[in-house]
Amino acid sequence: MAAIDSPRINALRSAPLNAWVALSEDETKVVATGATYEEAAVESERAGVRDPIIIKTPVEWLAFSV
């Protein structure tokens, strides 16, 4: 599977911009979002995810080539 089609990339494509995003442990889906890290962490725990991957999404995604 090409990196551009990875489940993690596809999950991030669906995530809101400029937000804290909690991904499932396997990084295949967004389980919670929030305006702050803490909000995303609390919401992911409420969703039943004990060990989320939490990241801040950019204001906009920039295209790049390799």
Tens of pLDDT along 1-27? 455 678 888 898 889 999 999 999 999
Residue 21 and residue 32: Cα distance in Å, rounded? 6
* Residue bearing the bigger pLDDT, 65 or 18: 18
**The residue to which tokens 């906009």 are assigned:** 60
Tens of pLDDT along 33-45? 999 999 999 999 9
Give the contacts of 28 (CB within 8 A, at least 6 positions apart). 7, 8, 11
**Total-model pTM:** 0.81
Residue 1 is predicted with a pLDDT of 47
Residue 10 is predicted with a pLDDT of 87
CB 21, CB 43: distance < 8 Å? no
